[in-house]
A and B are shown apart, each in its own frame.
Chain A
Amino acid sequence: MNLIQSITSKVPTLPLFATSESRQASGAAEVKTSTGTNTAPGTGKAENKMRMETHDLSVHYGSTMGVRNVSLPIYDKQVLALIGPSGCGKTTYLRALNRMHDLTRGARVTGSVMLDGKNIYDSEINPVIIRRRIGMVFQKPTPFPTMSIYDNVVAGLKLVGIRKRNVLDEVCERALKQAALFDEVKDRLNSPGSSLSGGQQQRLSIARALAVDPEVMLMDEPTSSLDPQSTNRIEDLIHELKKQVTIVIVTHNMQQAARVSDKTAFFYVGDLIEYGPTNSLFTKPKEKRTEEYITGQFG
């Protein structure tokens, strides 16, 4: 239990943890009872409505199962952390949320993903529009190597036909500042995006995703290639961002999940094992496997 104590003691400033013990029922129960306008139980702060929700979401790659029957609410302007051992379906689940599986040969998605009450897998929904509203940051930095730093950041804006230089300039600066990269690159915005260090490239990828002003941000282990300092900056950014944006983050770092998230979902071999407010999941896990995982007994 040492780890749990150390996690919770590390984050005393978070309002989430400052609140007294929640009267929260089990995470699974919460999922079942939640509706589109549910409050975020257990946080004790201003009520957040539900932004996204998955119902019985399953993803198969050919005959391999990626995730199975996952039902989860994702609350507006909160951070949901997905944790679990390697290969348990976190990335698979995340990619289902903005229809990235459409591009993978053999991937099959069943169930539904609701965004503001509409299933994004409905046939009349254009996935391109969905991906504009739901941004994504990948585990590996992916700058477009032939584009300058500037062009990388505004790439998404140019796609929607924004060409006005002053608008692009403004958004570029805003996004780079949000991603804590502006000071490092402001004098060389025209050098290639791939001339940056790995950590800078990752922040560039984040800036690029932020530039299009997404409503939901999906982050797949965004800090796994970063040094502690850059990691801190990204975590600060997440705190900043969640004032405006709903965030789902995959992380292998338990402390990070505890520091940045409001809700945590624990996956194991394709199943959602436990979901709940981060503080209660980390301090009083209901499932044996959750407890074993967060105390480092496996995975």
Chain B
Amino acid sequence: MTLDNDTSINGSKEARELLRRPPSALYRWLGDRIFAVVVVMLGVSIIALAAGMAIVLYGEGSAALRQFGFLGFVSGTTWDPAVQLVFGAFPFLFGTVVTSVAALLISFFPAIAVAIFTAEYAPRWLAAIIDNLIQLIAAVPSVVIGIWGIFVLAPWMRDNVYLPIFTWAEASHPALLPILGNPMGYGMATATIVLSLMIVPYTTALTKDAIKSVPVEQREASRALGATKWEVIRMAVLPYARGGILAGAILSLGRAIGETMAVAMLIGNKNTLPFSIFGAGATMPSVIVNEFREAVETLHLSSLMAVGFTLFVIALIVNLAAAYLTRKFSIKGGQVV
């Protein structure tokens, strides 16, 4: 083939010459470099920010951690800022774990059911309405949810749930009373219920995304075997979406662990074990928000910082677990990866 006429496969002579130009023009090299530097700097600064926060929290909390030892601090059951100046974070650790895990257990199946309903069954307009309502829950500031809890939910639960159960137990099973606790309305149970409500949007949204991203081939393959709609969901959709569902659950757990305001307003704030089901309790975020203003003793302030550091570590673990489990259970392109 001759290339010297003006309309070869590479177009005109001019275009050919331009294409043949060496690709190492300075501006391209520079553009590459600048872009790389900006991206790396942004990435590094985010990591540095997180590391810096951890270091500051640790530094500020180190007085308490040195005094009691990390293990002594997180397993100590006495939190006494007034008289003995002894600080053990176990009650808050306990309160945080119990309320957030219970909230996840309560909300998990309803949230998944809503996701399945809106993704698979509901007509589009209804799904849109439900989705928006649920996202609204996530958009409401938690202090507003806390107010609602104080004025509406807590009294209602006290009158219609806690008191009836309490009087029933009083009459027939007095041994249960210490476990049930004082049914005043503000306590672990109310905080858990509010938490479970607050995390539904996260589980639902992530589950729905996971369901929507199941390839149509998987659905059709099960349909072609004679599966009904529900059987398709059970056999093809949910197993395929399990990674996303799991990630949603764990991230919701993370949300519940960190939730501060609504919990602080509703949990009753009691710093000593034992906690009971209806009775008051506390979580790590709630004790921090309640006490940091009044902390005059250095050791008290340092202990609150140490609680913050512990919370940071737990959040980190939860997020790493989410990433790991999502990776382990996700399915990409039909392959278990």
Chain A residues at the B interface, C-beta cutoff of 8 Å: 98, 100, 103, 128-129, 131-132, 135-136, 138, 140-147, 155-156, 159-160, 192, 194-195, 201, 205, 208-209, 212
Q: Are B226 and A138 in contact (CB under 8 A)?
A: no
Do B331 and A209 touch (CB < 8 A)? no
Residues on B with C-beta less than 8 A from A146 are 239-240, 242, 331, 336
Task: Knowing A138-B217, A145-B240, A146-B239, say if A98 contacts B224 (CB, 8 Å).
Answer: yes
B257 → chain A closest CB, angstroms: 29
B220's contact among A103, A132, A145, A156, by CB below 8 Å, is which? A103
For the complex of A and B, the 8 pairs showing the least CB-CB separation, nearest first, are A132-B226, A142-B221, A136-B224, A146-B239, A156-B225, A131-B226, A145-B331, A142-B217
B235 to chain A: which residues have CB within 8 Å? 144, 155, 159
Q: What's the nearest-Cβ distance from chain A to residue B128, in Å? A: 16
Q: Would you call B228 an interface residue if the criterion is a C-beta within 8 Å of the partner chain's C-beta atoms?
A: yes
Chain A residue numbers with a CB within 8 Å of B226 are 128-129, 131-132, 156, 159-160, 212
Taking a contact as CB atoms closer than 8 A, the residue among B217, B219, B223, B335 that contacts A194 in the complex is B335
B334 within 8 A of A: yes
Contacts of A192 in B (CB 8 A): 336
A138 to B221, CA, bound (A): 8
Q: Is B290 an interface residue (CB 8 A)?
A: no
Q: Judge if B245 is at the interface, Cβ distance under 8 Å.
A: no
Query: Is B335's CB under 8 angstroms from A209's CB?
Result: no
Q: Is the CB of B335 within 8 A of A145?
A: yes
Contact of B336 with A100 in the complex, beta carbons under 8 Å: no
Chain B residues in 8 Å Cβ range of A209 = 224-225
Name the residue of chain B whose CB is nearest to the CB of A130. B226
Cβ proximity bits B220-260 to A, threshold 8 Å, 1 near / 0 not: 11111111100100011001101000000000000000000
Query: B218 to chain A: which residues have CB within 8 Å?
Result: 142, 144
A261 to B49, CA, bound (A): 68
In the complex, besides A135-B224, A146-B336, A194-B335, 12 extra interface pairs with C-beta distance below 8 angstroms are A128-B226, A142-B220, A142-B334, A145-B239, A145-B335, A146-B242, A147-B239, A156-B225, A159-B226, A159-B235, A209-B224, A209-B225
Does the CB pair A145–B228 fall under 8 Å? no
> How far is B227's CA from A282's CA once the two chains are assembled, in angstroms?
39
A100:B239 contact, CB within 8 angstroms: no
- Contact of A159 with B334 in the complex, beta carbons under 8 Å: no
CB A45 to nearest CB in B, in angstroms, measures 30
Residue from the list A136, A138, A194, A205 in contact with B336, Cβ < 8 A: A194
Selected contact of B227 from candidates A128, A141, A145, CB within 8 Å? A128
Q: Which residues of A contact B231 (CB under 8 A)?
A: 159
Cα distance A143–B235 in the bound complex, in angstroms: 11
Least CB distance, A101 to chain B, in whole angstroms: 11
Check if A194 sits within 8 Å of B239, measured CB to CB: no
